[in-house]
Amino acid sequence: MPAQVQQAGSRSLRRCGTIGVMQPGQRAIIHVDMDAFYASVEELDDPSLAGKPVIVAGLGRRGVVSTANYEARKYGVRSAMATSEARRRCPGGIYIFPRHARYQEISNVVFGVFAEVTPMIEGLSLDEAFLDVTASLRLFSSIEAIGRRVKEGIRERTGLNASVGMAHNKLLAKLASELSKPNGFLRIAPDEVRGYLDPLPVGRMWTVGKVAEESLQKVGIRTIGDLVRADAWRLNKAVGERHAAQLRELCRGEDRRPVVTDAPEVSIGSEWTFEYDVEELPIAEAWLLRQCERVGARARARGLDARTVSVKLREPPFLTHSRQAQLPVPGNATADIHAVARRLLQVWWSQHPRPRLRLLGVTLSGFDARHGDEQQDMFAAPAPDKRSDGVQDLINGRFGAGALVRAGVLKTRGSE
């Protein structure tokens, strides 16, 4: 593997591979990933946390880790780990409940930096995105110049570090940011692809999960280089002929996926895992209303009308049920969403002799984007009065999520 990856720390800005002009017809793709984003924001707001293991997580009995900073990762703490396991591994850590409104605020600044170099932005989460800067090369001297502008702009405006990977496709750009973390800055040039890819464990390749990795290892394919050199019989035996062709292409460093901007939202969901099982229907209905408020607000903020409401119900320990129904008219009013979701919950509750819930969630899907100049159907059901939703969205947007809730949600307060 090239020496750039083996060096870490403050010298990361110099780890940029071979600086050169992109070839004609070649894309210029940047992958940006904020380092330990939630935990870094907490350290930014409370400098006394610097140098300490910081874990942002649900703090209840069934909480899950959202982000752990690099100090905490030394103890084996990682994202998606149960908070109880994290406490066992790192009893001296600082455990903080997530502040999503604050993270969104910082994310908006970060994405504002992206927009200064290209409109071609594919957001993957609050702290991660692909940028297609091919057209921007005419304004800047190189992809490295654009990447450095993004990295330094984020640092100047937020005080946070971002890892920046650059390449001629999404696969390699993401790999570059991963290999150079933390505070990374790396370009993988076309003539360097094999040097970076071949030594990596085959499980590092996108689309290769644990099952596929084990199958590949059984036929002697342990690294990406092994896969590239493997004969078709061995590869087909391990992952099947259909997956084999795609996988070989990826392992050669080939990826034709475009950067997709403004991708249509497939679903909007909110769920909650209870610290103690819920055994009373009124309490379950209160939590359901709380989730309906959240998904309704998010749909309204995006100007989306949903057709389908789904309810996710998990009995202890991990038996999960899903129920869904259509809204009478596509929309995003909390009252309408809750009416459908509540009916689904009540039917499920009545069908179980001893209903208990470990988790409850609501998801909206089947979206139609609304347009102000569309002619309304005079025979459609009357539109709901959204004035209460508008006031609630305005107050929560100014003072933070949950500042104003419906009275029915108050039963959930104090049980978080």
Q: What is the mean pLDDT of residues 21-41?
A: 87
Per-range mean pLDDT, top range of 24-33, 219-228, 298-307 = 219-228
- What's 196-251's CATH class? mainly alpha
The chain-wide mean pLDDT, for the chain, equals: 84
CATH 3.30.1490.100 segments of the chain = 267-371+382-412
Give the long-range contacts of residues 51-55, CB within 8 A, separation 24 or more.
Answer: 52/93, 52/94, 53/77, 53/90, 53/92, 53/93, 53/94, 54/93, 54/94, 54/96, 55/83, 55/86, 55/90, 55/93, 55/94, 55/95, 55/96
Could you tell me the pLDDT band of residue 339, with boundaries at 50, 70 and 90?
very high
pLDDT (0 to 100) of residue 409: 52
33 is in an annotated binding site: yes
| Active-site residue identified among 128, 213, 285, 293 | 128
pLDDT at 110 over 90: yes
CATH topology for the 267-371+382-412 domain: Dna Ligase; domain 1 (3.30.1490)
User: Which residue intervals of the chain bear CATH 1.10.150.20?
Assistant: 196-251
Please give the model's pTM, rounded to 2 decimal places.
Answer: 0.68
> Is the pLDDT at 208 greater than 90, yes or no?
no
- The answer to whether residue 128 is catalytic is yes
Which of 124-138, 146-160, 269-283 is predicted with the least confidence, judged by mean pLDDT? 269-283
